[in-house]
Amino acid sequence: MAENAKKINIAICGGGIAGLALAAGLKKKDNIDFHVYESVPEYKDVGAGLALHMNAIKAMTLIGPEVRQVYFDKALDLGEEDQVMSTEVILAQGPNQGELVAELGKAKGRKTVSRADLLDGLMELVPKEKVTFGKRLDSIEENDEGVRIRFKDGSDARADCLIGADGIHSVTRSYILGPDHPATEPKNHDGWQIYRTMVSSEYARQHINPKWTQTVPILLGPRGHINCIPLNKGTRLSAGVAVRGAKFETSGKAPDLDPALYSDYSDDAQRIVKMVARDTSASWTAADHDHAPTYFKGKVAMMGDAAHASMPFAGNGAAQALEDAAVLDYLFSKVTDTAQIEAAFSAYDTTRRPRSQEVVDLARKFGRVYAYAEDGMHNDPTKMKQFFAGAAAFTNNADLQKQNDDAMGLFESAVKGGADGVEVKEADPIEVVA
């Protein structure tokens, strides 16, 4: 790039995993200037524990080995470095109680990380002056010069384009789709309530099988599935019961978690439910997005949960956010003129929308399978195993370098041939054996 050439100025709204991972890649590009605007004054640990699957690690590596390293530095080893471990999905109720039906994210040196720890690590890669906290995006306006964004505190900023990484309740999404579009607001079609507690690992070991404080189990049954995730280098445990079809009061309040409803679950599962029921203060109501018809409009695009929030059951939301960041980071390495921004966003949309929306669908299906609500699949553990194996192959085995290259191919042909040269491809069919 010529020394005096004008850099492309990108505003990123939202400094979560998506926004910061993208920023960590963009800071290495001479043709790009960027700024991250994050709404909260500081990060708080909201209790989300992440077990990043293979595609997340691959995406981080594409952005840069240092991004991947942050994850390895901040994460907790679940076992010995060489030990092969996984999220064990086990039937906890019914005639096949105790049967292991899936080993998700099976890998050597399996890890989990708290969202707050991962964000701290990513922040170390982004120059401090490039991130402003306490800036809540309120409205967006496009004009010939680019994008003007206004914040809740009355201030504003200008940029050549905006990438909204502002999470499930995204203002950017509302701008792109329109506030009244049926896919704008998150939905909870299956009535999921996640009862969750955060305890010290020491406390947990006194109340539940200590085995479940060191690994990531998902114990299945028709009145809810139970899940534990060790956090903060093994000093804390996030434990939860996810209930489908919860009978919410008209005020929106979920009913109390009643351990008596789980008396036909395995003993291990019952002990975890009892521990969670003692303190459900970390509970939340899950939601996801119906499919957006586009991930961009003009010079405004959305990524991560803003574009495709999914139920947490397939454990791939952050991974999809990182795949978005990898593709956008790669595309913007070649954007040298503001006139090329829309072609980059279009290539990103075409490449990432089908796959990320398949994951939203897949996560919903995981929820139904976990709740024994998918065509009697729980009566046939072999079928369940096939389903999980097919899903894992779809998320983990994807060739992400090819995904980046496909996006770049679309961008380059659009830039060479004009926007009409962009070929819009349909999603490759997902192969989930059910």
Ligand X SMILES: Cc1cc2nc3c(=O)[nH]c(=O)nc-3n(C[C@H](O)[C@H](O)[C@H](O)COP(=O)(O)OP(=O)(O)OC[C@H]3O[C@@H](n4cnc5c(N)ncnc54)[C@H](O)[C@@H]3O)c2cc1C
Applying CB under 6 A, which residues contact ligand X? 13-19, 37-40, 48, 50-52, 56, 115, 136-137, 165-167, 171, 304-305, 312, 315-319, 321
Closer by beta carbon to ligand X, 89 or else 137: 137
The least CB distance from residue 240 to ligand X, in Å, is 7
The least CB distance from residue 394 to ligand X, in Å, is 14
User: Quick one: tokens of 383?
Assistant: 């079928």
CA angle 425, 173, 248 (to 5 degrees): 110
What whole-number distance in Å separates Cα of residue 341 and Cα of residue 344? 5
CA angle 408, 337, 1 (to 5 degrees): 85
Closer by beta carbon to ligand X, 140 or else 208: 140
Closer by beta carbon to ligand X, 87 or else 336: 87
The amino acid at 424: V
Max Cα-Cα span within the chain: 71
Exposure letters 36-48 (e unless 16+ CB within 10 A, then b)? bbbbeeebebebb
Closer by beta carbon to ligand X, 172 or else 351: 172
The least CB distance from residue 357 to ligand X, in Å, is 14
The least CB distance from residue 139 to ligand X, in Å, is 10
The least CB distance from residue 158 to ligand X, in Å, is 16
Closer by beta carbon to ligand X, 115 or else 383: 115
Interstrand relation of 111-114 and 49-50 (parallel, antiparallel or unpaired):
antiparallel
**Helix (H), strand (E) at residue 88:** strand 84-91
Strand ordering across the sheet containing 137-143: 137-143, 146-151, 156-159
> What is each CA distance from 266 to 218, 262, 313, in whole angstroms?
12, 9, 21
CB-facing half-sphere around the CA of 9: CA atoms within 13 A: 10
Closer by beta carbon to ligand X, 17 or else 78: 17
Q: Where are the beta strands (DSSP E) in 109-204?
A: 111-114, 131-133, 137-143, 146-151, 156-159, 161-164, 193-200
The least CB distance from residue 190 to ligand X, in Å, is 16
What whole-number distance in Å separates Cα of residue 38 and Cα of residue 18? 12
Closer by beta carbon to ligand X, 193 or else 336: 193
Q: Where are the beta strands (DSSP E) in 255-334?
A: 284-285, 296-297, 300-302
The least CB distance from residue 186 to ligand X, in Å, is 11
The least CB distance from residue 285 to ligand X, in Å, is 11
Closer by beta carbon to ligand X, 282 or else 331: 282
Closer by beta carbon to ligand X, 97 or else 201: 201
What whole-number distance in Å separates Cα of residue 327 and Cα of residue 322? 9
Closer by beta carbon to ligand X, 170 or else 266: 170
Those residues with Cβ within 8 angstroms of residue 324's Cβ, 6 or more apart along the chain or in another chain: 18, 22, 303, 304, 307, 348, 352, 356
Closer by beta carbon to ligand X, 233 or else 334: 233
The least CB distance from residue 100 to ligand X, in Å, is 19
The least CB distance from residue 36 to ligand X, in Å, is 9
The amino acid at 16: G
The least CB distance from residue 418 to ligand X, in Å, is 32
Backbone angles phi, psi at 180, to 5 degrees: -95, 0
What whole-number distance in Å separates Cα of residue 83 and Cα of residue 310? 30
**Helix (H), strand (E) at residue 361:** helix 341-370
